[in-house]
Amino acid sequence: MMKQFFLIAGVVAIAGQALGQISKPADAPKPLSPAESAKRVQLPDGFRLELVAAEPLIRQPSGVCWDAHGNLFVSELHGYNREGQYDIEELNKTGKLDRVVRRIAANEDAMRRAEAEQLGTVKKMIDDDGDGTMDRAEVWADGLPACLGICPARGGIIAVCAPDIVFLADRNGDGRAEVREKLFTGFRFGVIERRINSPQWGPDNWIYIDGGQGGRITGPHLSAPVDIPVTGFRIKPDGSAIEPVSGHTGTYGFTFNADGDRFVISTGTTGIQVAPLPWRYLSRNRDIAVRASRRNAANYNTAFPISQPHPWRTKRADDPGFGKYYRDHYGAAESIPNGYFTSACSPLVYQDSALPGLIGQILACAPAQNLVHRAELQRDGILLNIRRTADEAKSEFLASGDIWFHPIHLSIGPAGGIYIADFYREIIEDYSAIPRYLQQQYGLDDGKNHGRVWRLVHNDMPKPQSPNLAKLGNAALAREVASPRFWRRQTARRLLLERGARLAGIALPPDDTAAAVNALYTLDGLGQLNDNTLATALGHGEPGVRRHALRLAERRFGESEHLLAASLRLANDESPVVRLQLALSLGENDGTESLHTLAVLARRHGEEAWLDRAILSSLGNRAGQMLKALLSDKLDALGQARGLVRRLCSAAASRKNPEEFSGVIALLGGLDDPGLQLECLKGLRAPFKSATTLTIGDAPREALMRLATSGEGEVRVAALDLTRVLKLENAAERKERLAKALRDVANVQLPAELRLAAVRGLASENDDAIATSLLDAYPAATPPVRRAILEMAFARSDHLPAVVSAMEQNKLAPSALNAVQRTALLGQKKAGLAKRARVLFATLKPVDDATLQRFVTALKAKRDTGAGQTTFSQHCATCHRAHGIGFAVGPDLTSEFRRAEETIVQDILAPSAVIVAGHETYTVETTDGRVLSGVLAGESAASLTLALTGGVRLDVLRKDIKSLKSLDVSLMPESLAVALKPSDVANVIAWLRQPPTRQVLFDDSPAFAGLLTEGGGSATVVTGDKHSGSASLRITPLQRHSKRIPGWAFRIRENPGPGEYRYLRLAWKAPQAAGVMVELADNGAWPSSGSPERRYYSGKNTSDWQATRVSEKRPTEWTVVTRDLWKDFGNLTLTGIAPTALGGPAWFDQIELLRALDE
């Protein structure tokens, strides 16, 4: 039958070589038979691939699983790249090749036609002769939405196929699943390969799923809809529960290790560690934003395939236009034909011992490179690092020379072998990455009727046991709970829970983390986990077991003093894994001993990764009590808890409880450490975005007023600011302060930065009259001041009548408002206000064809890239980033400029016509009347993060949100056709298309100081003293720092390719200090104190750290320093920075990375 299939397939291939009028090139790779494909695979000695199933039995497999009888099921994903195929089929009818250099999606008609074919199928595979190769397939279910994975449950199969999760079962034994129940529906979805995927049983009796874009989820067994954000989630197999989990996979797949740590993945890396901060813990403290996080665990992205790249890849690289385009926009990894991970997916930590040497290692598929990669997991405290094995430093574990071999899914089978779903086809890559003329020639879906499943085995594997666990009794299943075979112990647990078995007991293996954890959750799921077993687990020799024992014991803290005491003793545990979990678990108990232990953990270990977040999540409404516990003792006993103080003050202040707030003020008033006082004051001020009346006690009030009048330097300024927002100043002082600020805004003789400072100083006021006065100053304001005035005017809904009045009085042109601001006015419910706005906006006219043509024509003229950079900085940089300049609120234009220049012009002149996915505008109205508009940059259990103009990232507590709306309009102004000349737009586009040669780390950004989240000093962006631009960074001793700044992962190399750098350049000065220093973090780590690596200084080094000297003289004036980072320190990945002031304040400016010294 298989030979007949390949004969037919060959005839079809020959007949289909001409796509329309375009012939398929002779160098197009051809499919191989399974036997021939297997010969092209290279594996370490002893390993081999065995064929399990192939076409025509299966096609395009996306996942596998086994039921309790050991039957193999395969899910299929149909319709991949069909939209691109339909698009080029129409194009090929013209007989012309489209060689325009750009990257575009298929047309809408092709998209619509493809959607009808994006379907899923689930098949039951049958091995009639027992030789391990499948002979027949029963179509269990077809016509499903695109299916990206299956797992067993309740005598059936759960299939994930957005927008649904479906339960399938064949109860009558006819080979078809007559039970087809939607457990959940409502998942948002986009491109076929980025939907919810990879369902798998976690260690805790939940099914975990990832991918997709969240949604409002309903189901027949849910009591109410559940909102799932863009993150992973877990479900109960009967559909009774669904909840978010921390971490989100960028592509397809995720995995757990034996300790329960979760890894997700993205195309360019082999594994990303999710911070072990479960979502349910982070949701407990509503008073502070505690974000879940993840970290790239691998320090490499190079791959070593043995296959030749598909000819389209080589031709794209050799094409002068497309080669330059992809190098400039995507860097070496995405532009050269081969050698980098570009499609990594389906990570798998091998939790079995059947395959020698693999236990505990992590594998990942790289379908575009035709290989399966493996690496070691190395623990560094709570962090887990992925590192290549010594034997495969420059090779791969499983590599195929067959270009059609595309592994996309890994799963551990019943006997311990690894099953590989091979999406066997000619082209696996997203069609839009392929130049259109090459799409036309090679086609996009050759192989759509192919597909294979392989089994990775070893010569020394143990003899397989019968996979039919359904026939075993409960006692036999209880023994299987500790089986060395991953599938057997997991299936035994599931069956025992489904049966509701009564067990005599299950012993915890002393030296096997996975088996012991499996036993704990088996007993817990059955309701048979007693305190004695838990106490034994809390003292287990393996940290992973102690971690899970804490998670299970925490529910009993209120009723078992014995378990609580045993848990509290783990504060002295040698493992940071256990200490972190203890900090999380203690949030389930509100006793004084638990609070004391949290304080002990903070003092001793507060600087360990993620421990501060764990402690904050556990405090709930006890932030004030924690501050008292930390600050009532000697300050030198604070230890590593110092970094917590500001956030604790913010949490206490956000509750706006007068008694608690007064207590914190009393504490800080008694401190004799100005640096710590400043941290407290900044923390207390942060939650108050609007002027608020809060009654505080007389003594604390007097203490605050003393700080505001006689405190040291920055302490006095911070205290004064707090008194103002709390309305503690007297009426006359407040009136004069506001009047002066309004005079400064209107004073055209003042520099722009002073007028801007005056506007910002009024930002927390909620007085309608102030909004009116600011709008009166709008006509005489410069563009930056105008933007600030509009932001202030639209910051509160009760200011909007003043905006409409200003337009009616011709003080404000309707065209000055962006689409978001216009939408805010048109959506007003106040009588007559929306109607008045509608009349004003009726005068606005959309960009007509004649205007568009004027701008398009300008593209043909000679262009000035220098002028383009200036225009970009003035009009675009508040929301877009390119070549290291600006803020990535909207798409980063360095990497997103993929389309024809004519299309870019349209996007600039009509920005709301097309909104790039992931950059939709959201409007949040808060309970105190503020209105915030920005791009939703992230969600956590207790907060949302909005990306605002100017690079500001604002955390908004969910408890403070009155409403949240998504708008189908852009934050960009729609008046650029008036504000800019055609030549301006042409110059901007020319500048954007330049290859990036430098990366600006700091230059004028007011948000940069907020990125430096740690350290005892202060960081302020000041406008009065700068080397270039409009601002500089002022640091007070000793330093402000962050070892992982969002978006920073800059590779320093000897011969930098696109996106890589070699040199550091900055300007600094320290006129009254002993010296100045800068410290650099490599992959999230600071250099050791005894090494001069990654530290530069000038003047006298008064710190305790070794550093590389730049100059003996301290820079009393602005001094530019350029250093060869690679020559000084070798290869590194810059992820963070610590500007440091030695013995006095220091200033930094224009910090940037360069590829070459002539830049």
| 784 backbone dihedrals φ, ψ, rounded to 5° | -65, -40
Selected residue with higher pLDDT from 884 and 370: 370
- Report, as an integer, the average pLDDT of 936-943: 82
Whether 78 shows a pLDDT value over 90: the answer reads: yes
What local confidence, expressed as pLDDT, does residue 2 receive?
Answer: 43
Q: Please write down the HEC assignment for all residues of 340-358.
A: ECCCCEEEEECCCCCCCCC
Q: With residue 78 as reference, give the H or E element that holds it.
A: strand 72-78
The answer to whether 547 and 578 have CB atoms below 8 angstroms apart is: yes
Q: Please write down the HEC assignment for all residues of 178-189.
A: CEEEEEEECCCC
* CA gap 183, 179 in Å, rounded: 12
What does the angle CA 14 – CA 15 – CA 16 come to, to the nearest 5 degrees? 90
How does pLDDT run across 727-770, given as a tens digit for each residue?
988 888 888 988 999 999 989 888 888 888 888 888 888 888 89
The answer to whether 871 and 988 have CB atoms below 8 angstroms apart is: yes
Q: How many other C-beta atoms can be found within 10 angstroms of the C-beta atom of residue 95?
A: 10
* CA gap 1154, 1159 in Å, rounded: 7
What local confidence, expressed as pLDDT, does residue 16 receive?
Answer: 42
Q: How many other C-beta atoms can be found within 10 angstroms of the C-beta atom of residue 75?
A: 31
229 forms beta bridges with none
Whether 899 shows a pLDDT value over 80: the answer reads: no
Q: pLDDT band for position 1037 (50/70/90)?
A: very high
How does pLDDT run across 364-406, given as a tens digit for each residue?
999 999 999 999 999 999 999 999 999 999 999 999 999 999 9
What local confidence, expressed as pLDDT, does residue 880 receive?
Answer: 74
208 forms beta bridges with 200, 234
Amino acid symbol at 198: S
Q: pLDDT band for position 855 (50/70/90)?
A: confident
Maximal CA-CA distance, the chain: 95
Q: Which residues, in sequence order, are CB contacts of 266 under 8 Å at separation 6+? A: 249, 250, 251, 272, 344
What local confidence, expressed as pLDDT, does residue 3 receive?
Answer: 41
Q: How far is CA 852 from CA 268, 559, 847, 909, 914, in A?
A: 39, 73, 7, 8, 16
What local confidence, expressed as pLDDT, does residue 300 receive?
Answer: 87
The answer to whether 966 and 921 have CB atoms below 8 angstroms apart is: yes
The answer to whether 1035 and 1110 have CB atoms below 8 angstroms apart is: no
Whether 19 shows a pLDDT value over 90: the answer reads: no
Q: Which two tokens stand for residue 1032?
A: 């500089």
- Report, as an integer, the average pLDDT of 788-817: 90
Check the CA dihedral 442-445-451-457 and report its sign.
Answer: positive
Whether 895 shows a pLDDT value over 50: the answer reads: no
E runs forming strands in 149-205 = 150-153, 156-161, 164-169, 179-185, 197-201
Of 337-346, 850-859, 1068-1077, least confident by mean pLDDT is: 850-859
Give helix 611-619 / helix 576-585 axis angle, nearest 10°: 20
Q: How many other C-beta atoms can be found within 10 angstroms of the C-beta atom of residue 395?
A: 15
Of 328-332, 407-411, 525-529, 806-810, least confident by mean pLDDT is: 328-332
Q: pLDDT band for position 41 (50/70/90)?
A: very high
What local confidence, expressed as pLDDT, does residue 8 receive?
Answer: 42
DSSP state of 960: G
How does pLDDT run across 690-720, given as a tens digit for each residue?
888 888 889 999 999 999 988 888 899 999 9
What local confidence, expressed as pLDDT, does residue 13 receive?
Answer: 41
Q: pLDDT band for position 435 (50/70/90)?
A: very high
Whether 1023 shows a pLDDT value over 80: the answer reads: no
Q: How far is CA 496 from CA 154, 482, 518, 678, in A?
A: 11, 13, 12, 58
The answer to whether 641 and 602 have CB atoms below 8 angstroms apart is: yes
Q: pLDDT band for position 872 (50/70/90)?
A: confident
List alpha helices for 527-575, DSSP H. 531-538, 543-553, 561-568
How does pLDDT run across 763-786, given as a tens digit for each residue?
888 888 899 999 999 999 888 889
Average pLDDT of the chain? 89
The answer to whether 49 and 41 have CB atoms below 8 angstroms apart is: yes
Q: pLDDT band for position 18 (50/70/90)?
A: very low
Q: How many other C-beta atoms can be found within 10 angstroms of the C-beta atom of residue 21?
A: 11
Going by C-alpha positions, the residue among 807, 739, 749, 812 that lies closest to residue 769 is 739
What does the angle CA 486 – CA 488 – CA 491 come to, to the nearest 5 degrees? 105
Q: Which residues, in sequence order, are CB contacts of 736 under 8 Å at separation 6+? A: none
Classify strands 22-23 and 18-19 as parallel, antiparallel or unpaired: antiparallel
Going by C-alpha positions, the residue among 834, 817, 840 that lies closest to residue 911 is 817
What local confidence, expressed as pLDDT, does residue 444 receive?
Answer: 95
- Report, as an integer, the average pLDDT of 891-899: 49
What local confidence, expressed as pLDDT, does residue 186 receive?
Answer: 97
Selected residue with higher pLDDT from 422 and 1055: 422
Q: Which two tokens stand for residue 1101?
A: 């080094």
Q: Give the CA radius of gyration of the chain.
A: 31
What local confidence, expressed as pLDDT, does residue 6 receive?
Answer: 42
Of 5-9, 409-413, 743-747, 904-908, least confident by mean pLDDT is: 5-9
| 170 backbone dihedrals φ, ψ, rounded to 5° | -110, 95
Whether 1105 shows a pLDDT value over 50: the answer reads: yes
**How many residues belong to the chain?**
1159
What local confidence, expressed as pLDDT, does residue 1080 receive?
Answer: 97
- Residue whose structure tokens are 């410290």: 1079
Of 229-238, 767-776, 837-846, 909-918, least confident by mean pLDDT is: 909-918
The fraction of the chain above a pLDDT of 70, given in percent, is: 93
Q: pLDDT band for position 330 (50/70/90)?
A: low
Amino acid symbol at 1034: R
Going by C-alpha positions, the residue among 528, 1038, 34, 886 that lies closest to residue 894 is 886
What local confidence, expressed as pLDDT, does residue 768 receive?
Answer: 85
DSSP state of 359: T
* CA gap 201, 190 in Å, rounded: 25
Whether 1093 shows a pLDDT value over 60: the answer reads: yes
- Residue whose structure tokens are 């890589």: 1060
Whether 334 shows a pLDDT value over 70: the answer reads: no
Q: Is 952 exposed, middle or buried (0-12, 13-18, 19+ CB in 10 A)?
A: middle
The answer to whether 339 and 363 have CB atoms below 8 angstroms apart is: no
